[in-house]
Amino acid sequence: MILIDNIKHACASCIKGHRSSSCQHKDRHLLPIRRKGRPISQCDQCREERKKRRVHQKCSCSSKKGMYTTENSRVDIANKSSCLVDFIDMPITYSNKDLNVIIEYHDISQMTIELKEWAFNLVKSNLYHLYRKSNDGWNALEKKAEMSTPEARYLIARSASDPNILYGFLLFQMVTEETMDDDVMAEVAYCYELQLVESARNYGLGEYFMKLLAEIGNHWKMDKMMLTVFKSNKGAFRFYKKLGFELDEISPSACLSALQARKFDYEILSKKCS
């Protein structure tokens, strides 16, 4: 049995249940807190019960946030689209001082083996030291699988003058996320990775990537953007705070006591889509 006080695993519904004594799953095992780079905020039984409730909420409830079948969700519609950026004038370009880039859009089926390896190696180069110190450690196979899921979409920055020079990428997915309300699921543009090579930093390129993600989220009518940040990554925290991101309601520090939250090595940030 894994108790909530151990906090290596957590469930939003169960956490609320422990507060209100209404949760019946106190003796149930809880799923790992992270999967595919994102938090798991429900235990196995809570997840199945909520799934059953949503299946029974037919068309008459489809206009209510979180009250829809998967087939009718905005996330599902977006994920069935062949291109999530076709509403943006192409090519997408960005220039600042001597940095001039063209930003390409790729779904995972369009990514060459070389591009996948480059993206993975950039993540490893930038974040390996943080993962090694984290609770879960570094798992190359798990990270590669996360970056290659069918719903993975990439924005990749290339040099405008030399297409062989790559400056960075943003990896995102359209997903449904748990909330602290048992009857509501949020539709989210989730930023899995935002990685730049060292020579492309401090030119505003990362901010421009996030601006594009906001445009994509707004166009597809997502509720918000979300991302996960290691607590030890102070620079990333400052960057996202500057862009208007705040602790999400399911972030450990937002839904747990200070003592419990200290046992987590990350936070979940979000920003509403307009």
What's the rounded Cα separation, in Å, for the pair 172 and 35?
15
* Distance set, CA 64 to CA 32, 57, 89 (Å): 30, 10, 32
What's the rounded Cα separation, in Å, for the pair 80 and 151?
9
Q: What is the DSSP string of 49-101?
A: HHHHHHHT--GGGTTSTT-S-GGGSHHHHHHT-S-TTTTS-SSEEEEETTEEE
| H or E stretch covering 117 | helix 113-133
- Domains of the chain and any CATH numbers: 83-272 (3.40.630.30)
Nearest to 248 by CA among 262, 265, 266: 266
Mean pLDDT of the chain: 82
- State the pLDDT at residue 164: 97
- State the pLDDT at residue 72: 74
Q: Order across the sheet with 266-272: list the strands.
A: 92-96, 99-107, 153-159, 166-178, 185-196, 224-230, 266-272, 246-247
Mean pLDDT of 226-255: 97
Confidence of residue 182 (pLDDT cuts 50, 70, 90): confident
Question: Could you read off the pLDDT of 262-273 as tens digits, one per residue?
Answer: 999 999 999 999
Confidence of residue 98 (pLDDT cuts 50, 70, 90): very high
User: If DSSP codes are grouped into helix, strand and coil, which group holds residue 5?
Assistant: helix
Which of 29-33, 43-47, 103-107, 270-274 is predicted with the least confidence, judged by mean pLDDT?
A: 29-33
Q: Do 228 and 209 touch, CB atoms closer than 8 A?
A: no
Interstrand relation of 92-96 and 38-39 (parallel, antiparallel or unpaired): unpaired
The answer on pLDDT for 120 being more than 60 is: yes
Report pTM. Answer: 0.78
